[in-house]
Amino acid sequence: MLRIPTAMVLALALAACKPGVEAQSKVSNVIDSSTVLDPNSYAQTDKVRIEHLNLDLRVDMAARRLLGSAELQLHWLDPKAGALVLDTRDLDIRRIDGFDGKVWRPLRYTLDRRDPVYGSALRIKLKSALPRVRIQYATRPEASGLQWLTPAMTASKQPFMFSQSQAIHARSWVPLQDTPGVRFTYDARIRTDASLMAVMSADNNPNAVRNGDYRFSMPQKIPSYLLAIAVGDLVFKPISARSGVWTEPSMLDAATAEFADTEKMIEVTEKLYGPYQWGRYDMLVLPASFPFGGMENPRLSFITPTVIVGDKSLVSLIAHELAHSWSGNLVTNSSWKDMWLNEGFTSYVENRVVEAIYGKDQADMENVISQFGLAEELKTMPAEDQLLAHAPLVGRDPDDALSDIAYVKGQWFLMFLEKRFGRDTFDAFLRHWFTTHAFTSTHSAEFERFLNAELMQKHPGKVSPEEIAQWLHQPGIPSVAVPAKSARFDAVDNMRSKWLSGEINVSEIDTKAWSTQEWVRFLEGMPEVVTLVQAHDLQSAFAFDGTPNGEIAQRWYPIAIESGAVESRPDIEAFLSSVGRRKLIMPTYTALAQSDEGRAFARAVFAKARAGYHPITAASVEKVLADPAPQNNTP
Ligand code: BES
Ligand code: ZN
């Protein structure tokens, strides 16, 4: 992940036009989220908050645009504010009207110059605190939060469109206060071609008639990053009374079989942390260009098809997105600096669910893999980004701050607390956190206060304040952290060492009972340099080239590239051209970018694959394939 040098962050922070900067510096020591502005949004949430959104949009697949209106119901904290400031990016605003309780009247507005990260503040002038404002607008084909797929790019050979709003992409398809610190309910009417089906992060009716005119309502308050929509040749198959899969017809049976344990997962999580509060839990399996593994859109998680490998070995992703129904969707980070409250808590809950359903061995293996990833990332991460209680992301793109610190260090901290206080005590504590903070947005300082009052004070002597401070406010992993261990991985490590030292032949490695995780471990533990002879040995024994398992491909292709095994290139090209999930393809692009020849090959592949990539993935690949910085050869 490309990181912004500290000097640049400071320079950006000083740029007065950045959202929230001014307010941030005035209130630098205030920790109450209701008064601190989110530096990644232009919204003045201390003056006004959206309470309800009413969307009325037409989906124009040919023009790659959403056209229609967003009506906002407002709650004014400062009725004299005189303006409503909204986040937008690349929206064509057609007209804005305000409702004073009796009539609708046109309003005057200005659209600020576009900031490459934050977009354009939309400033609507108001003489009084109007209860409702309606914006008529259209999105642009390049909207960062939408991907438009041509028929050729889908299994059904029908057009497809989906959104990805987290972290700050909702503003590219709806004008709103794009901060997780504001929550609102929503309704929507979505019109599409009659042959297509629309679904949203709302109440999807499994029996909806396909007629091109769909209505949705989301009665629970959600932050903007959980607004979601998808349109395509979508069909539904139930898994249980409250859960099922939406996807293109050709994927339906494989997906429902892979995710058959979903109802069990919901029940396990409810038993630990209280009732599932969102009604249905469905999953939308997207085309392979979906840039993430999963996205916890409420009532309808969006899922990559790359986890459908036939043996349920990657369904911890479902446990993860489901867990967000408590950590994230119910209790939400109020700005992106505190993302660990979403992702760390979710990774912890995910692993508890995996342990309950698939056993301790599986949960341990998954933890070892995550901690290995964190250790790799820490090697190059600036110290100030290694804190759980991160500084405000002033002037930064929250997508660039996404790291294993939030996920893995966050999870590890909760595992540490669980171990010290005991599982029963910690389970009750976490359940209490979710119950007392449900449907609110919160931050690290509030968690620290709650932890102190509800665990530290009530069970003195188990954990010291210094230990808590180390986890939350110091870089790196505290020395008191106990690393995850896996006996099954010890066996894998042992086999690999024996082969590397020449003690055994590659054919003597007993892989019959290996799951995806053991293959991952086998490859992750390879030395820096794998020779061409060794790479050929591996390929001839295990036929990694062309593997349908993205977790294996992600780790094998960089090894093949670095060893110089050019005969893997056709399979590498096929992999990079068929998958758009960023995590899976970035290591291979990065390995190719290490040499001039590799970079040239990668650029040629990217030129062809790009049209099928999501804007988020395309931007990441572009960064990695940019010309390398000139070498400084002075002695
Ligand atoms: N909410 C995240 C995805 C996300 C994070 C999107 C930040 C945009 C910005 C989702 O819940 C997630 O964590 N997905 C992971 C899978 C997980 C099992 C670690 C992913 O996509 O890899
Ligand atoms: Zn997550």
Mutate to test the pocket of ligand 1, among 164, 165, 285, 320 (most ligand atoms within 8 A of CB): 320
Ligand 1 contact, 295 CB (< 6 A): yes
Cα of 412 from ligand 2 centre, angstroms: 15
State pLDDT tens for residues 448-501: 999 999 999 999 999 999 999 999 999 999 999 999 999 999 999 999 999 999
Is the Cβ–Cβ distance between 73 and 52 less than 8 Å?
yes
Please tell me if the CB atom of residue 294 comes closer than 6 angstroms to any atom of ligand 1.
Answer: yes
How high is the pLDDT of residue 629?
A: 74
Taking the C-alpha atoms of residue 336 and residue 169, their distance in angstroms, rounded to an integer, is 13
What is the predicted pLDDT for the residue at 631?
A: 60
CA distance 439 to 549: 37
Q: DSSP per residue over 354-410, as a string?
A: HHHHH-HHHHHHHHHHHHHHHHHHHTT--GGGG-SSPPP-TTS-GGGG--HIIIIIH
CA of 167 to the centre of ligand 2 (A): 12
Ion ligand 2: residues, CB within 5 A, are 343, 346
Cα(545)–Cα(567) distance, integer angstroms: 9
523 lines ligand 1 (CB under 6 A): no
Looking at residues 421-429, what average pLDDT do you find?
98
Residue 534 has pLDDT above 70, yes or no: yes
Ligand nearest to the CA of 366: 1
pLDDT in tens, 169-192: 999 999 999 999 999 999 999 999
Q: Supply 266's token pair.
A: 């919901």
pLDDT of residue 376: 97
Query: 292 in ligand 1 pocket by Cβ < 6 Å?
Result: yes
632 has pLDDT over 80? no
Ligand 1 centroid–CA 582 distance in Å is 11
Is any ligand 1 atom within 6 A of the Cβ of residue 317? yes
Q: Give mean pLDDT, residues 506-535.
A: 97
Q: How far apart are CA 309 and CA 256, in angstroms?
A: 12
Residue nearest to atom 2 of ligand 1 (CA): 295
Evaluate if pTM is beyond 0.75. yes
Instruction: Please give the angle made by the CA atoms of 578, 581 and 582, to the nearest 5 degrees.
Output: 120
Residue 125, Cα to own-chain centre: how many angstroms? 35
Measured from the alpha carbon of residue 342, the closest ligand is 2
> Edge-to-edge, what's the strand order for the sheet holding 120-125?
83-88, 120-125, 109-111
Over range 557-580, report the average pLDDT. 98
Decide: residue 254, CB within 10 A, 0-12 exposed, 13-18 middle, 19+ buried: middle
| pLDDT band, very low/low/confident/very high, at 401 (cuts 50, 70, 90) | confident
Please write the tens of the pLDDT for every residue from 437-449. Answer: 999 999 999 999 9
Ligand 1 neighbourhood includes 551 CB (under 6 angstroms): no
Q: Is 61 or 30 the better-scoring residue by pLDDT? A: 61
Q: How would residue 115 be classed by pLDDT, with cut points 50, 70 and 90?
A: very high
Q: Distance from the CA of 296 to the center of ligand 1, in angstroms?
A: 8
pLDDT at position 400 is: 83
Average pLDDT, the chain: 94
Q: Catalytic residue positions?
A: 321, 407
Q: Residue range 520-538: average pLDDT? A: 97
Q: Kindly state if the Cβ of 248 falls inside 6 Å of ligand 1.
A: no
pLDDT for res 259: 99
* C-alpha of residue 406 to centroid of ligand 2, in Å: 10
Query: Best of 201, 286, 301, 343 to mutate for ligand 1, by most ligand atoms within 8 A of CB?
Result: 343
Please state the atom number of ligand 1 nearest to the C-alpha of residue 342: 1
Q: Is the pLDDT of residue 16 over 60?
A: no
Query: 26 pLDDT exceeds 70?
Result: no
Question: Is the distance from the beta carbon of residue 406 to the nearest atom of ligand 1 less than 6 Å?
Answer: no
Of 41, 4, 1, 10, the residue nearest 336 (C-alpha): 41
Residue 271 pLDDT > 90:
yes
pLDDT at 35: 53
Q: Whose CA is nearest to atom 17 of ligand 1?
A: 317
Q: Please tell me the distance between residue 292's alpha carbon and the centre of ligand 1 in angstroms.
A: 6
Atom of ligand 1 nearest to the CA of 324: 11
| Token digits of residue 425 | 């005590």
- The three-state secondary structure class of 206 is coil
Average pLDDT, integer, range 49-61: 99
Q: Please report, rounded to a whole number, the percentage of residues in the chain having pLDDT higher than 70.
A: 94
Counting ligand 1 atoms within 8 A of each CB, the residue from 227, 292, 301 with the most, and so the one to mutate, is 292
Residues of the chain above pLDDT 90, percent? 92
Measure 329 CA to ligand 1 centroid, in angstroms. 13
Cis peptide before 167 (omega within 30 of 0): yes
